[in-house]
Amino acid sequence: MNMGVLLRLALLLLLVAFLANPQAFEPLFAPFAANGAAAIYTQSSLLSLTVSHLSMVAAATIAATVVSVGLAILVTRPSGREFLPLSRSVANIGQTFPPVAVLALAVPVFGFGPIPTLIALFLYGLLPIFENALTGLASIPPSVQEAARGVGMTDTQRLLRVELPLALPIILTGIRLTAVISLSTATIGSTVAAKTLGEVIIAGLISNNTAFVLQGGLLVALLALFIHEGFGLLEGALTRRTRSVQPA
Amino acid sequence: MTGAGPAETMSAQADDTRVKRRSGLDRLGAILAAIAAAGLAFQPFSLFRANRIVAAKPVGILSALPPLEAWLLVAVVVAACAVLLLRTPPALRLVVSALTLAVLAVAVGRSGMFLTPSSNTYARVAPGGAFWIVAFAFSIALADASVRLKMSPLARLALLAFTGGALWMLLWSGAWDSLSILREYTNRADVFWREARVHLLLAIGSLAGAAVVGIPLGILCFRVQPIRATLLNSLNILQTIPSMALFGLLIAPLAWVAAHVPGASAVGIAGIGIAPAFVALFAYSLLPMVSNTVAGLESVPPQVRDAARGMGMTARQRFFEVDMPLAFPVILTGIRIVLVQNLGLAVLAGLIGGGGFGTFVFQGISQTATDLVLLGALPTVALAFAAAIVLDALVEIANPTPNRSAAA
C-alpha cells in the first residue's frame, strides 16, 4: 500500500515538473520524434492547454451534476414519480449516443470553438450521474425513511439531512465516472477547434510525430488517473463517515 | 404517500393511479405538447442553402410546404398534441406518436421537393429546428408509451424492425431524395457502403476478438485470485488513455511490426489505416468483457454449485451446465456495453485513415459541410441505438426470472 502511495506521489511530481518545464523532458521524447522534428509541442504552452482542458471538464461536470441530481430528486418525489420509468429509459437510450456523434451534431448548431465541446461534455456527463443519483436515492432503506419521518422531519429536512447524505457516495461515483470520461472526450473537442490537450495529439497525428501523440496522451491519462484517485479518496472518506453514523 | 387514511395501505401502483386521477391532463403530455407547439411556431421547418456550404436561410412551416399540405401538417401535429395532452390509453398514444413521426418524415421530404428549384443541383434543403423539435417531442412520447405498455422484449424488437422497415421504405421510395443529406449520399453512394462495411467490421470484429480473448481471461481471473487485481487494474489504466491518443500511439508499433515481421503486411497489418483502429477498439473492449465475465461467474450462488457437486456432476459439467448458463446474461450485458461503445468509438478511426463513418464526420468538419457530418453521424447513432435495443431485449430474454436461481 505504501509503495502505491509513493508511486502516485512520484507520478504527481513528474506531472507537475513536466507541465512547469516541458523542455527539460526533451531527451525523453526525442527518440519518438520523426526525422529531427520538435519533440515537445510548443505551438501553445502545455500548461495553458492543460488548464483550459481541465476547466472545460470541470465546468461541464459541475453543470451536469447540478442538472442531473436535480432531476433525480424530482423524479423520486411522490409528485414526480410518474416520470421515473420514462426518465430511466431516456437515460438508458441517451447513453447509446456516441460522444463523437454528439460533438459532430453540435457543431452545425453552435459553430466551431469551445461551445460544442462543452455541450457534448455536459450532455454526455448527465447520464452516469443521473443513473447513480437515482440508484442512490432509491436504495435508501425504507426503515431509515420511516425513522426520519417518525422523528418529525419535514420532506425537505428528510431530503437534505437523510436522503442526500446517504446517497452522496454513490452520486460521487457517478461524478467520478463522468469526469474521467469527459477528460478523454474533451481531447476530441480539438477537432472542432476547442483548446484542449487533444490539440497536441492531433498535431502529432497530422505531422506523423509520435512524440506529440505520446505527450498529449500521457498527460490526459495521468490527469484521468489523479482525478479517479482523488474521487476515490473522497468516496472512501464519505463511506467511512456514513458507516460510523449508521450503528448509532 | 401524500394521502392519509386507507390510501396508505394501498400498493405503489394504486398510489400511482390515484395521482393520475387527480386531473384530466397528462403532465408529461402537457410538457411535450408545449415543446412541440413552440418548436413548430418559432423555429424554421426547413433550412435552405443556395449551395452546400453557405449559411442557411430559415424557412417557416407555412412557406416550406404547399399551403394545403402545410396546414394539414399543422392540423396533424395539433391533433396529436391533444391526444398527448389528455389522459389517453398508452396503446393509442403509441400509435398516434408513431403516425405523427411518419407524417413528419414524409412532410420534410415534400418540403425538400417544394423548395428546391427545378433543375438546380446546387441548392440544398435540410430539416430545420421545428422538424427536430417536433420529432424529439414525439419520440419521447413514443418511448413513454412503450414504457407504460411494459412491452415484452419481442414486442420491442418487432417495433424496432417496423421502424427500420418504415425508414427503408422512405429512403427507397425516393421521398427524401431532395434533402441535402441524401444529396451528399448520392454523390458518394459506393464510398458510403464501403465505409459502412469498414465501420461494422471495426466494431463487430474487435468485439468478437475481445470476446474470444476476454471471456477466457475472465474465467481465469475468477479462478486465480492473485491475477484478478493485477489484470483488472492494468485494463482500468488502459481505459484512461484517451481513445484518440491510443489510436495514434499504435501507429508506430504496428508500422514496425509490418516492416519486420514476415507476412504481417500481407495480412493487412500496417501503421496507418484499419489495423491501429482495430487494435485500439479491441483494447478498450477487453475491460468490460473481462469484468463482466468475472461478475457473471461471481453471481452464481454457492448453493447452486454445491447442489451440482452433490448431484455428482464433474468439474467440466458444472462449468458448462451450471456456471456458464447462469453467468451468461451478465456476459451478454458486457457484450452490449462493448458493441454500443465500439460503434461510437469507431468514428475516431476516421482521424487516422482507418475508414468507417468517421471519414465523413471529419471530412465534413474540415469542410464545414453540415450535411456531410450528418451523413457520418446519423448512421452511427442509428446503429448504436439499434444495437442497444436488440441486445437489451436479448439480455432480458436470457435473464432468468429473479426466483429461478434460488429455486434451481
Please tell me if residue B364 touches chain A, with a CB cutoff of 8 Å: yes
Among A96, A208, A210, beta carbon nearest to B385: A96
Here the CATH number for the domain that contains residue A116 is 1.10.3720.10
Q: Which of A100, A154, A185, A210 to mutate to test the interface with B (most CBs of B within 10 A)?
A: A100
The percent of residues in chain A predicted with pLDDT above 90, rounded, is 14
Q: Which of A75, A96, A159, A199 to mutate to test the interface with B (most CBs of B within 10 A)?
A: A96
Provide the residue ranges of all domains of chain B, joining segments of one domain with +. 5-181, 189-407
Looking at the DSSP bridge assignments, the partners of residue B127 are: B46
Cα–Cα nearest to B52, from B188, B186, B174, B181:
B181
Which chain A residues contact residue B15 at CB under 8 A?
Answer: 78
B189-407 is classed CATH 1.10.3720.10: yes
Please tell me if residue A164 touches chain B, with a CB cutoff of 8 Å: no
Cα–Cα nearest to A96, from B383, B292, B221:
B383
Which chain A residues contact residue B373 at CB under 8 A?
Answer: 104-105, 107-108
Q: What is the mean pLDDT of chain A?
A: 84
Q: What is the mean pLDDT of chain B?
A: 84
Mean pLDDT of B184-199: 91
So what's the pLDDT on residue A245? Answer: 53
Angle, helix B370-398 to helix B153-173, in steps of 10 degrees? 150
Distance linking the first and last C-alpha atoms of chain A: 31
Q: Is residue A50 part of a domain?
A: yes
Distance CA B187, CA A244 (A): 67
Q: For residue A1, what pLDDT band results from cuts at 50, 70 and 90? A: low
Return the residue of A nearest to B370 by Cα: A108
Among B246, B344, B388, beta carbon nearest to A99: B344
Q: Is residue A9 part of a domain?
A: no
Indicate whether B23 pLDDT > 70.
Answer: no
Q: How far is A98 from chain B (nearest CA, A)?
A: 4
So what's the pLDDT on residue A244? Answer: 59
pLDDT digits (tens, 9 = 90+) for B44-101: 998 888 877 777 888 888 888 888 989 999 999 999 999 999 888 989 999 999 999 9
Least reliable range by pLDDT among A230-239, B15-24, B198-207 = B15-24
Which chain A residues contact residue B385 at CB under 8 A?
Answer: 93, 96-97
ipTM, 2 dp? 0.78
Indicate whether B262 pLDDT > 80.
Answer: no
Which chain A residues contact residue B362 at CB under 8 A?
Answer: 191
3-state secondary structure chain B: CCCCHHHHHCCHHHHHHHHHHCCCECHHHHHHHHHHHHHHHHCCCEEEECCCCCCCEEECHHHHCCHHHHHHHHHHHHHHHHHHHECCCHHHHHHHHHHHHHHHHHHHHHHHHHHCCCCCCCCEEEECHHHHHHHHHHHHHHHHHHHHCCCCHHHHHHHHHHHHHHHHHHHHHCCCCCEHHHHHHHHCHHHHHHHHHHHHHHHHHHHHHHHHHHHHHHHHHHHCHHHHHHHHHHHHHHHHCCHHHHHHHCHHHHHHHHHHCCCCHHHCCCCCCHHHHHHHHHHHHHHHHHHHHHHHHHCCCHHHHHHHHHCCCCHHHHHHHHHHHHHHHHHHHHHHHHHHHHHHHHHHHHHHCCCCCHHHHHHHHHCCCHHHHHHHHHHHHHHHHHHHHHHHHHHHHHCCCCCHHHHC
Which chain A residues contact residue B365 at CB under 8 A?
Answer: 104, 107, 191-192
Q: For residue B115, what pLDDT band results from cuts at 50, 70 and 90? A: confident
So what's the pLDDT on residue B401? Answer: 54
What is the domain range of residue A239? 43-245
So what's the pLDDT on residue B95? Answer: 93
CB B207 within 8 A of CB B285: yes
* Torsional class of A204: left (φ above 0), alpha (ψ -120 to 50), beta (otherwise): alpha
Indicate whether B159 pLDDT > 80.
Answer: yes
Least reliable range by pLDDT among A29-38, A112-121, B201-210 = A29-38
Q: Which residues contact B61 (CB under 8 A, 6 or more apart)?
A: B40, B45, B70, B73, B74, B130
Least reliable range by pLDDT among A26-30, A193-197, A199-203 = A26-30
Listed ranges A63-67, A158-162, B21-25; the one with the highest mean pLDDT: A63-67
Indicate whether A199 pLDDT > 60.
Answer: yes
Distance CA B203, CA B387 (A): 11
Return the residue of B nearest to A86 by Cα: B144
Distance CA B224, CA B216 (A): 12
Q: For residue B19, what pLDDT band results from cuts at 50, 70 and 90? A: very low
B384–A191: do the CB atoms touch at under 8 Å? no
Q: For residue B369, what pLDDT band results from cuts at 50, 70 and 90? A: confident
Return the residue of A nearest to B360 by Cα: A104
Q: How far is B147 from chain A (nearest CA, A)?
A: 6
Mean pLDDT of B293-299: 90
Indicate whether B11 pLDDT > 60.
Answer: no
Give the count of domains, chain A.
1
Q: Is residue A47 part of a domain?
A: yes
CB B356 within 8 A of CB B199: yes
Which chain A residues contact residue B360 at CB under 8 A?
Answer: none
Indicate whether A136 pLDDT > 80.
Answer: yes
Return the residue of B nearest to A185 by Cα: B242
